[in-house]
Structure 1
Amino acid sequence: MFSYQDLLVIDAVARLGSFANAALELHKVPSAISYRVKWVEHKLSVSLFKRSHRKVALTPAGIYFVEQARLLLKQMDDIKFQTQRVANGWQSSVSIALDNVVHEDSVNKLVADFYEQFPDVELLLTMEVFNGVWDALADGRADIAIGATAVVPIGGNISYRAMGSLLWDFVIAPDHPLALKEGKLKESDLIKYPCICLDDSSRKLPKRTTWLLDNQRRLVVPNWHSAEQCFMAGLGVGIMPTHRSRILIASGKLIKKDLLDVPKESPCCLAWKNECLTPAVAWLLDYLGDSEKLHQQWLA
């Protein structure tokens, strides 16, 4: 209904109090300003200004219109500015999928440092389990994945950086029936007890389990915090990441047992889509560092 220039003219006349002053600011002749104001008033069927010999003043309707016009002008300027930024590689948000296994304390520092560098970009974090990290990357829900297994189950233009291997401990509660069992535990010792497993958060990719015996019952939980509570309550058996279990073992809340079949190490990685290399994503990849730094900060 009204152009950017229409609103600009009304704003200038309202601020400066005369057509002549508005004309000087906008580098136009006073008659052009007067014509533009009359055209807007005609479209609205209301008077926006009270005219005197040399000055004009806003009517009540004019006060309201100018308030709304200034909001529109700001929105239009913002649209132009943000569109130009997008064209230059800026994005309004960056999404990171973290495997539930990573150190949660490291997340807080990442967020603080990111917002200091990019105060106008939102950081969207999700906690995923197992293939859920890759699923978020493949489905476009994440730009970066931290703690993903190094076996890439998806196609596409994906790059990744090794984070080292995740170590596992087989743990049980101190009062569990297996606690007094001597020597290495074998499958026949374990099969009668439920295996505490995390629920893979993948929506489309096949779900997987870190460790489970054939025909063994499962106790499925959403995250490692819930798993720890179940382990300590003696509700089942299973494996935990060493960097999480060592604290509970040292405090006596869990005990570690040896197995005949030792759980394999799990290689992990930082992964990202190459087509999503915006300035914010590129900064994050540089900030997260090399393989050694990634391992120490997120998995060790």
Structure 2
Amino acid sequence: MLYQPRNHLDLEALRTFVIAIELGSFTATAQVLYKTPSAISYRIKGLEDNLGIKLIERTTHSVTPTEAGKRLAAKAQDLLELHQCFYDELDIIKTGIESSFTLVVNNLLYDDAAAARLLAHLSDKFHSAAFKVQKSVFMGVWDYMIHDGGSFAIGAPSFHSIDESFVATPLGLVEWTLVCGPNHPILRSKKTVDEEALRDYPAVNIQDSSIHSDGRPAWRLMGQEEILVPNLETKILCHRAGLGIGFLPRPIAAERIERGELCELHAKDVARQPSPMSYVRPKKDTGLIGNYLELLIEQRHELIQPFLSPLEPER
């Protein structure tokens, strides 16, 4: 069946109508849109004439939607958002700059100050884009990219993509150091520090933020109790408080060991294999922001370096 064109729908009049309904006043709407109240009334009257239906009950001090007006207002916002998205997509096609961009960073690599500096730089360079930074835990990085529209990830577990829609490029390895607090009782024990001795104390682990896919099994000995926390900062504070033992990325552990906040545990026959990390972007992504971030990573630029500092080179 061929599409039969109808009267042209004035989207600016539709937007004016929606604002008037929300504010309940032509005067308030006129102030928001920098128009006169009579211009607002005229525009909405034109919309009513075009559609052939009364949308608003007018009084001296307020406007109230008719039943038809209520139904139109409920649908109009979706239409206006769709219209905006259409032009956002056109902007991407014309300029190559993404209209919105979500950077996902592994909790182990996240740096607050670096994230703020990077956001400020990207916002200045690509001022038309809306930016978001998402901190995720281990497999939660992949989860966010696949299911929640992540644009670019730093620190996705594995050197290989777990989804054919994405490309993973190796960044390096997280090497691990076993730590505890400086006053932890295991340091005063006369027993040999091995699996049997470690099992007497809980392991402090970070809860994987993955929702849609299987999370990473955290390090824990068979039969050992576990304390789960939401992020790296809380895990470190738990170790400092003597609540348990666990592994930290080597550079992060070394810094706190040097300051006397933590102690390294040398446990017989207890180790954790290095964890490979990659940066990830959608396979068909050709946006300028993603390309620029990829260039910064390849250059090991100072804006990116803090995120990469916990990593050791790939073996």
* Deviation of the 1:100 alpha carbon: 0.3
Q: Which letter does structure 2 place at the counterpart of 1:100?
A: N
Instruction: Determine the structure 2 residue equivalent to 1:85.
Output: 91
Q: How many positions carry a matched residue from both structures?
A: 246
Where in structure 2 are the equivalents of 1:187-202 lying within 5 Å?
A: 187-202=195-210
Instruction: Determine the structure 1 residue equivalent to 2:284.
Output: 275
Which of residues 264, 271, 274 is equivalent to 1:265? Answer: 274
Helix, strand or coil at the partner of 2:284: helix
Helix, strand or coil at the partner of 1:276: coil
Instruction: Determine the structure 2 residue equivalent to 1:52.
Output: none
Which of residues 303, 306, 309 is equivalent to 1:299? Answer: 309
* Deviation of the 1:132 alpha carbon: 0.6
Which of residues 135, 160, 183 is equivalent to 1:175? Answer: 183
| d(CA) in 1 for partners of 2:204, 2:91 | 48
Q: Deviations over 1:133-157 (max 9, x none)?
A: 1111221431211111225462213
| d(CA) in 2 for partners of 1:224, 1:271 | 22
Instruction: Determine the structure 1 residue equivalent to 2:115.
Output: 107
Q: Which moved more, 1:87-96 or 1:156-165?
A: 87-96
TM-score by length of 1: 0.70
| d(CA) in 1 for partners of 2:229, 2:115 | 22
Helix, strand or coil at the partner of 1:193: coil
What stretches of structure 2 of length at least 5 have no aligned partner?
A: 1-6, 14-34, 47-80, 311-315
- Structure 1 position 288 matched with structure 2 position 297: yes
The answer as to whether partners of 1:168 and 1:241 remain within 8 angstroms in 2 is yes
C-alpha spacing 1:83/1:130, structure 2 compared with 1 (3 Å): closer
Helix, strand or coil at the partner of 1:160: strand
Q: Which letter does structure 2 place at the counterpart of 1:271?
A: V
| d(CA) in 1 for partners of 2:193, 2:139 | 29
| d(CA) in 2 for partners of 1:83, 1:68 | 32
Instruction: Determine the structure 1 residue equivalent to 2:26.
Output: none
* Deviation of the 1:246 alpha carbon: 2.1
RMSD (CA atoms): 3.4
| d(CA) in 2 for partners of 1:80, 1:179 | 63
The answer as to whether partners of 1:173 and 1:179 remain within 8 angstroms in 2 is no
C-alpha spacing 1:77/1:135, structure 2 compared with 1 (3 Å): closer
* Deviation of the 1:289 alpha carbon: 2.2
| d(CA) in 2 for partners of 1:298, 1:136 | 20
- Structure 1 position 234 matched with structure 2 position 211: no
The answer as to whether partners of 2:204 and 2:239 remain within 8 angstroms in 1 is yes
Instruction: Determine the structure 1 residue equivalent to 2:56.
Output: none
Where in structure 2 are the equivalents of 1:1-300 lying within 5 Å?
A: 61-62=38-39, 64-65=41-42, 81-88=87-94, 89-104=96-111, 105-152=113-160, 154-181=162-189, 185-260=193-268, 261-289=270-298, 297-300=307-310
Helix, strand or coil at the partner of 1:196: strand
The answer as to whether partners of 1:173 and 1:255 remain within 8 angstroms in 2 is yes
Structure ID, larger Rg: 1
* Deviation of the 1:186 alpha carbon: 0.9
* Deviation of the 1:241 alpha carbon: 1.3
